[in-house]
């Protein structure tokens, strides 16, 4: 494809084949249809000729949650880009809604309260049984 050149024009890269290989290689470990579709969407947004354009958004998101390709081509440029990444990736990086973490925590909180209620009910029953035996 490169015809003895050191680089290859983005439009000459076999994108469909690369996307297929990546999706099938990593998708083989996925057993949920929705997750497999999400993988396909991520691969399609990352492995595209427009990914070579400066400012190409790998992930859309509000404000600081958008993720664009690095501007430089040297190792220090790339390392600086990596250092600027957030310590905890926002849910939007995975194609989830921005409030996904909040929804997960609310669900876990409700589950915890429900389990705590079950335990206290069992303790109350145990205390009643003990009082009846005395």
Q: What is the pLDDT of residues 43-65, one digit of tens each?
A: 988 888 988 888 888 877 666 66
Which one, of 34, 36, 99, lies nearest residue 65 by Cα? 99
Neighbours of 23 (CB within 10 A): 19
Distance, C-alpha 15 to centroid of its chain: 22
CA 125 – CA 120 distance, rounded (Å): 9
* SS3 assignment, position 24: helix
pLDDT band at 118 (very low <50, low <70, confident <90, very high): very high
Q: What are phi and psi of 75, to 5 degrees?
A: -60, -45
pTM of the predicted protein model = 0.55
CA 66 – CA 27 distance, rounded (Å): 25
- Can you give the pLDDT at residue 62? 67
pLDDT band at 21 (very low <50, low <70, confident <90, very high): very high
């Amino acid at each position: 494809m490169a015809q003895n050149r050191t680089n290859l024009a983005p439009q000459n890269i076999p994108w469909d084949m690369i996307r297929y290989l990546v999706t099938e290689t990593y998708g083989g470990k996925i057993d949920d249809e929705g997750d497999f579709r999400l993988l396909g969407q991520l691969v399609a947004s990352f492995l595209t000729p427009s990914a070579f354009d400066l400012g190409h958004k790998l992930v859309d998101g509000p404000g600081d949650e958008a993720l664009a390709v690095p501007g430089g081509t040297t190792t220090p440029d790339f390392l600086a880009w990596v250092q600027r990444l957030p310590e905890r990736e926002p849910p939007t990086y995975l194609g989830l809604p921005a409030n996904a973490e909040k929804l997960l925590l609310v669900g876990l909180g409700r589950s915890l309260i429900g389990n705590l209620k079950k335990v206290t009910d069992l303790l109350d029953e145990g205390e009643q049984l003990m009082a009846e035996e005395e």
